[in-house]
Amino acid sequence: MLFLWLYMFYSCAGSCAGLTTHGSAAPSRAAPPLLPGEPGEESSLEEQRAAPDAGSPISSFFNGSGTKRLPQAIIIGVKKGGTRALLEFLRVHPDVRAVGAEPHFFDRNYERGLAWYRDLMPRTLEGQITMEKTPSYFVTKEAPARISSMSKGTKLIVVVRDPVTRAISDYTQTLSKKPDIPTFESLTFKNRTTGLIDTSWSAIQIGIYAKHLENWLLHFPIGQILFVSGERLISDPAGELGRVQDFLGLKRIITDKHFYFNKTKGFPCLKKAEGSSKPHCLGKTKGRTHPDIDQEVVQRLRDFYRPFNMKFYQMTGQDFGWD
């Protein structure tokens, strides 16, 4: 009855506004409200911002539960760093709405335009944050300028992990799809005799974090980028999520009580996922067992990455403890 009364009240408010002082004009018929997630004609971003009732709870309920907005925060990297886990954890927060699939707008689909990109976003209410994650942005040369062009105020999150472990995880993922690829050891070197590392191999190249960060700092101040430790995301998920919530200006709602450690998978899982009352762990593609790698190759990679890691620590003001 309450919703029926509200619907009649707001329908009258909209239609009665069209009556003249003499009462001669017939009331216009109100369009039926959109259901959550139902496609509808989108106004421009400027019109959305100008609309006085765009974010109010009542109007949001009747126009499709909010407005589609461009993301205010993006998880830009890194591949095999823990980005999926971070996004799933963040979606527990009532003030975070995020796209499930990776849009790849700023690297593969930029020519489709911002209207296409915005239409991918979930609807949000006033005070909620729209997010997406595409880990390949961090290593895409054009991405920083493109995101800055969209909004210079966009908050950026990078989940980083020991680059050696990350490279092996990257290789393991590829191996699961292409079992006939060469060994990790053979792909690592241009010349194994001389020990020359093949930095053109993406599994190696992604882990040179300092090099990629330099490109982002041409367009964003360091204070607008949050660096999340992939290792601490496993060992202390609530602690890392606390930092992320602070960075996004959110109340610290996600705490220790939301997690339990899954011994089989070897990483934390949610006691209750977004929109569910059941425990949730990431899928079987996460937490794969890594192949045994020649320890001499592992050590050579550690030696290779060490100076880049040191520079990255200096640039971010954080020691991630990879050496």
How many other C-beta atoms lie within 10 A of the C-beta of residue 54? Answer: 18
Q: Helix, strand or coil for residue 206? A: coil
Q: Which of 68, 79, 80, 155 is catalytic?
A: 80
> For residue 143, which phi and psi values (nearest 5 degrees)?
-60, -45
* Known catalytic membership, residue 80: yes
On the question of a cis peptide bond just before residue 96, with omega within 30 degrees of 0, the verdict is no
Q: Is 190 annotated as a binding residue?
A: no
Q: Is 43 annotated as a binding residue?
A: no
Q: Is 130 annotated as a binding residue?
A: no
Q: Is 134 annotated as a binding residue?
A: no
Q: Which residues contact 141 (CB under 8 A, 6 or more apart)?
A: 215
Q: Is 24 annotated as a binding residue?
A: no
Alpha-carbon distances of 241 from 96, 251, 297, rounded to whole Å: 13, 11, 34
Q: How far apart are CA 277 and CA 225, in angstroms?
A: 33
How many other C-beta atoms lie within 10 A of the C-beta of residue 225? Answer: 18
Helix (H) or strand (E) segment spanning residue 190: strand 189-191
Q: Is 258 annotated as a binding residue?
A: no
Question: 225 - beta bridge partners?
Answer: 156
Alpha-carbon distances of 225 from 143, 169, 214, 248, rounded to whole Å: 14, 24, 12, 11
Q: Which two tokens stand for residue 187?
A: 């792909």
Q: Is 82 annotated as a binding residue?
A: yes
Q: Is 316 annotated as a binding residue?
A: no
Q: Is 11 annotated as a binding residue?
A: no
Q: Is 195 annotated as a binding residue?
A: no
| Residues classed as catalytic | 80
Bind-site residues: 80-84, 161, 169, 286-290
Bind-site residues for 3'-phosphoadenylyl sulfate: 80-84, 161, 169, 286-290
